[in-house]
Structure 1
């Protein structure tokens, strides 16, 4: 049997399902009879059962008297910071740079998962095809990017990064199977409230870590508006109520799940949870038994608030503004109404709510009060229908529909105005007076506020409408959270830069180092911390024995876990540009290294500097490598090399070019080609390596190369080029072509014969053979025109 053929034969990767992978793991530790029981229970128990696998483990443990546990998958801060690759499960491992690349493509170019994976797979296939054409041996089959698996992995990783950034968590659990849609949706359903709470709490206090916002306008006003372009198909069942806000009672919100559009024998208008039960009546007609219990409650409450604008028939009369929100749901609309969003006056999004139903006043209040549960809002508000909202609060405050509590007292003292974009469309008398943002009753609180930040933010978010429509609940809410978080990071500037500046300023003020144990310095720091930051400091003050303890804890708390990977990728790609000063390159590399690891040694930094520096610099610096034991020594030699380059290299190139270029007095058409000389001319003239050529032109001569250019007879130079052209190596072709181009572009008769040396390739005044004093020809005391030696040239 030939084993060598088996070893060299191509292997086809085997794809296993999650169930098969689980069976393989159980076979390693469990007897076969126990595995059979597990499989039977898994098939018997419904998938909707909460904590299904925990129940299976408890049954097996009780029956067989074992202590099995359901394994959970965790991601740590260290793995996100240090690991280059991400593997959750399945047959694909993702480079973190790939996830970061998609993140930037999403934010900057609005690329969808489908578009990104299609482009990536096409690129891989073209590269593979190109390589196969060049290679005689066939390569193994390539693995293409799976859109669903990549999408779920990206979402989970960014959810974990978001939690690490906004909380003190260092470990976060994720679903065992990324490919199990039901398990992932259950996971998203469980954490969506926690994510929203962290999102609101973090961004309503963003002023504590960013300095980009204008302190005079930051967080002074909040603007509420609805965005309907981010709509998607939703279940038509509307009797889903939210009871999370005690002051409002049950608020009709509608179902966020997607309808069953492709399933058979179902009503395609409803999701799986709200399929209408079909009963047969006496006349054998099928009738859905959905009961719309409170169908008109939201509309009725809105009408009560606008009672003075409702006529006898129950319809709104003409005195009502043509801009208002009634809460009426269109029965013909099968998609959602987008989402409600709240912006601060500095364009930061601090809250959002998906809207399966229309934008009624109680739903707007539900949105605002939910934000107030987890964060703080300014005491001034802009809304395109603020007039109706104000009338609604005045009419229903203190009733069962809007109970009076400490939270709702905020609404009664809240300053309200219509934003400047919509106020021109309002016709009600109150809209023309007290609801205008520039009315005196507001005490100029809206004077310097951009009340159109919501419209401007929606113009950016509308570019994602195709991406929004591709999501189903609860994944849609998770995607909103991640996307709005990225948007806020872009708006405010990344918190890391402000945190670094804060840390550096404290160090400079207090003159501290890592071993400093002066508690007065920590008192200075405590005085700079407010709100959540101050609470964090108080809770951890007992572990701050010295400055390094505080700095480590501070970095772990406030430094981002994703920026390190971006900076490391930039560090690997950074090279010294040809026209870039060495100091600019070294400063950039050192800053990147310090950002990645503040304790990085000088030797490692020098390695990064040497790997990307200009090859000419690297050659010279390598000669001093044994002397460069510190970063200061490296910077010293680099500065010397830069000065030498600036002094000699550029001067030599300029001198050669100046000699070749025709004087300014000649016509423009005669020297146009010399304004942009090819750099290869100077380089090749300076360093010829062909020994025969070097001997012919540069041997036994003490004159400068410039004088040789001035003195060589043209026919001789041209003949040597044509004679030796075929015998020169390939690398000298550019030199000969350039020299020949220079020779051919200069007319033979462009100068009269020089009165000193007789040649016609320069002016008399520029001749290198002229004397420096007296007569230019012979050096005598007479005038040049009277020189007796001129007769041979007259």
Structure 2
């Protein structure tokens, strides 16, 4: 049966937010667009917006006030879309700009299914198209997976931002500019995520008798997206002056390097060709000495009789053009509290950085922690703090926190230090506590590896942020629109393992380009 219903997207309010003028039909503008419906049909809809040039006689009128357009889910001011919690959740349809709107039931269906089923946006759009065919619903055109994905992705990020207590969120008016905007907001969004879930026992409520008793850190290497082959990128944090993390950006087409490093890599290649045999020998000798010193330092500071180090060889890391997955802090109640992508390998320095950032944001740490290579982590902290690692309040707290090896990996640790100090069964804080929470969570996450591995640097971290947030909300039985006003309490922390425009390169660049 063909649906004859007309679809109208009406403004969420009729009063101008600038001059408080009541708007009427004379201020209305209509526009035809395509509407993706929950049954797979694609029909014509009409969006009605209210345009206000402001009341010149009003006492609130100022010279610099821009015209206001009020749509069904946002207010457009000065080429920006401004969303509030009420506007975003208004009506049965979602319209974020452009020529496409979606029925709200589609987004509700997606958020309910994505944490239970590892289906891609391609599969989700295909299922809507197939449903329309099966039920004989009209389609002006097939549901486009990219357009649908852009709308759902933007909606969930805006909803997350508002749910942290923000009164409003202002985004570019064009959806094509949204990914870049959202990526630049990622550190701020991640801060809110960490603060909420590291403190979820007090902010939301306990999820059991052992809620948040312990934090388990582990790496997940299934989700490996394409990254720039330029590895010598540094960030500076409060704890470490030089943390080499590699470039997170996606390579440009037909290249192994991103836009930032593509020209630099070409220049390095030309300089290599011009370099003399003597110069090559000097560089080789330099790296040999550095390698020897690093090995001696590692042997002195990390020496245990366990061979459980996880860092990959430099030769493998430098050849690899895919990320090394993620590291995450997971509470024993299986709440994902913090995470970071890996662009080189699972090194102790990056694990320490994740701990430090999480402590600074949340202002706390669990009473005990678990890591499957805890022996090397503990020895590294003890021997480096105050020297290569600055003695910050976050590091003092981490250094004083008992760390054990999880029960499933402890049998592989045969060294005296491990057997004496790392046994989880000898840690009274871990009695009846789940130490395999991270691996259990990653067994769920591995099904999303094909989806994450095909995303670029603008999309992947934000997809994981939203996915983890939805998963956590499901565990504590809260809806995606659940609002908790924490934004005023979240500190601003910028030194994440995500390289931005102010990155510095290592001495390797200077040697090769000279």
TM-score (normalizing by structure 1): 0.47
Correspondence for 1:163: 161
Instruction: Give 1:220 shift.
Output: 1.5
Instruction: Give 1:430 shift.
Output: 1.1
Correspondence for 1:634: none
Higher relative contact order (CA 8 A, sep 6+): 2
Instruction: Give 1:175 shift.
Output: 2.2
Correspondence for 1:144: 142
8 Å Cα contact 2:223-2:448 kept in structure 1: yes
Correspondence for 1:222: 215
Query: Does residue 1:252 correspond to 2:244, yes or no?
Result: yes
Correspondence for 1:445: 429
Instruction: Give 1:495 shift.
Output: 7.0
Query: Does residue 1:91 correspond to 2:65, yes or no?
Result: no
Please give the alpha-carbon distance, in whole angstroms, between the structure 2 residues aligned to 1:432 and 1:282.
49
Q: After superposition, what is the alpha-carbon deviation per residue over 1:473-512, rounded to whole angstroms, capped at 9, x for unaligned?
A: 1211111110000111111221799999xxxxxxxxxxxx
Q: Could you say what secondary structure the match of 1:241 adopts?
A: strand
In the alignment, which of 453, 460, 466 is matched to residue 450 of structure 2? 466
CA 1:111–1:388: 2 relative to 1, 3 Å: same
Correspondence for 2:385: 397
Please give the alpha-carbon distance, in whole angstroms, between the structure 1 residues aligned to 2:92 and 2:157.
18
Please give the alpha-carbon distance, in whole angstroms, between the structure 1 residues aligned to 2:433 and 2:184.
38
CA 1:496–1:187: 2 relative to 1, 3 Å: closer
CA 1:236–1:534: 2 relative to 1, 3 Å: closer
Correspondence for 1:758: none
8 Å Cα contact 2:367-2:401 kept in structure 1: yes
In the alignment, which of 340, 343, 356 is matched to residue 356 of structure 1? 343
Instruction: Please give the residue correspondences for 1:117-516 in structure 2 after superposition, counting only pairs within 5 Å.
Output: 117-127=125-135, 130=136, 142-167=140-165, 169-178=166-175, 180=176, 183-211=177-205, 213-215=207-209, 217-243=210-236, 245-260=237-252, 262-263=253-254, 268-275=255-262, 276-278=265-267, 280=270, 304-307=297-300, 320-326=305-311, 328-329=313-314, 330=316, 331-375=318-362, 376-399=364-387, 401-439=388-426, 442=427, 444-494=428-478
Correspondence for 1:515: none
8 Å Cα contact 1:299-1:327 kept in structure 2: no
Larger mean Cα displacement after TM superposition, 487-496 or 196-205: 487-496
Please give the alpha-carbon distance, in whole angstroms, between the structure 2 residues aligned to 1:126 and 1:154.
24
Instruction: List runs of 5+ in structure 2 lacking aligned partners.
Output: 1-31, 35-52, 54-76, 491-514
Q: Could you say what secondary structure the match of 1:150 adopts?
A: helix
Q: How many residues align structurally? A: 407
CA 1:343–1:102: 2 relative to 1, 3 Å: same
8 Å Cα contact 2:159-2:481 kept in structure 1: no
Q: Could you say what secondary structure the match of 1:224 adopts?
A: strand
Instruction: Give 1:448 shift.
Output: 1.4
CA 1:327–1:402: 2 relative to 1, 3 Å: farther
Correspondence for 2:9: none
CA 1:303–1:452: 2 relative to 1, 3 Å: farther
Q: After superposition, what is the alpha-carbon deviation per residue over 1:411-450, rounded to whole angstroms, capped at 9, x for unaligned?
A: 22110101011111112111112111112xx3x1111110
8 Å Cα contact 1:239-1:294 kept in structure 2: no
Query: Does residue 1:74 correspond to 2:82, yes or no?
Result: yes
Instruction: Please give the residue correspondences for 1:517-532 in structure 2 after superposition, counting only pairs within 5 Å.
Output: none
Aligned CA-pair RMSD: 3.5
Instruction: List runs of 5+ in structure 1 lacking aligned partners.
Output: 1-12, 16-28, 30-68, 132-138, 311-318, 501-530, 537-794
Q: After superposition, what is the alpha-carbon deviation per residue over 1:336-356, rounded to whole angstroms, capped at 9, x for unaligned?
A: 110000011111111000001
Instruction: Give 1:95 shift.
Output: 1.1
Instruction: Give 1:240 shift.
Output: 1.5
